[in-house]
Amino acid sequence: MSEKIRVLLSEEEVDSRIREIAAKISRDYAGKEIHLICVLKGGVFFTCELAKRITVPVTLDFMSVSSYGDDTKSSGVVKIVKDLDQPLEGKNVLIVEDIIDSGRTLSYLIDILGKRKPESIHLCTLLDKPERRVRDVKVDYSCFNIPDEFVVGYGLDYAQKYRNLPFIGVVELGEN
């Protein structure tokens, strides 16, 4: 089995939209500090690009949550692989995710983090697949709604490959 990658969103489109979302976040959080929680591994590329463009003070922490394994479909089982290093009490938290599809992972994460008494919790994603939703999550900042295709690049992977692509591509599986 071999994969081909078809460009869905170019590097320029992604960069432009991240600038727009960062400007909106900066306006919405004017006069406040924002605590970004990067959901690893996929979210790291987006989080770094977003953080560089936010103009209000930013602190940053990382969390690793797994629900995929090496498959192209969510397993539905959410597991915390790496928890946060810093407490959230009183902070304006912005969870930064690479992609939201079923909503299971983010619903779980918002519930868990909400119990840690942050001032606020909001959600920002690079990619959103709203038609795949099985759990309702409020996405406050979304760069792109995309069709129900398996995508890679800009941090998203297929079996740990393709994270480093500077664009968003669709994996097209084929036979050798």
CA distance 24 to 17: 11
Q: What does each C-alpha distance from 25 to 19, 21, 34, 35 come to in angstroms?
A: 10, 6, 9, 12
**Given the residues 101, 128, 140, 148, the one annotated as active site:** 101
Please say if 111 is a catalytic residue. no
Describe the strand order of the beta sheet including 2-9 as a list of residue ranges. Answer: 2-9, 168-174, 151-152
Of residues 172, 141, 167, the one with CA closest to residue 154: 167
Q: Which residues are catalytic?
A: 101
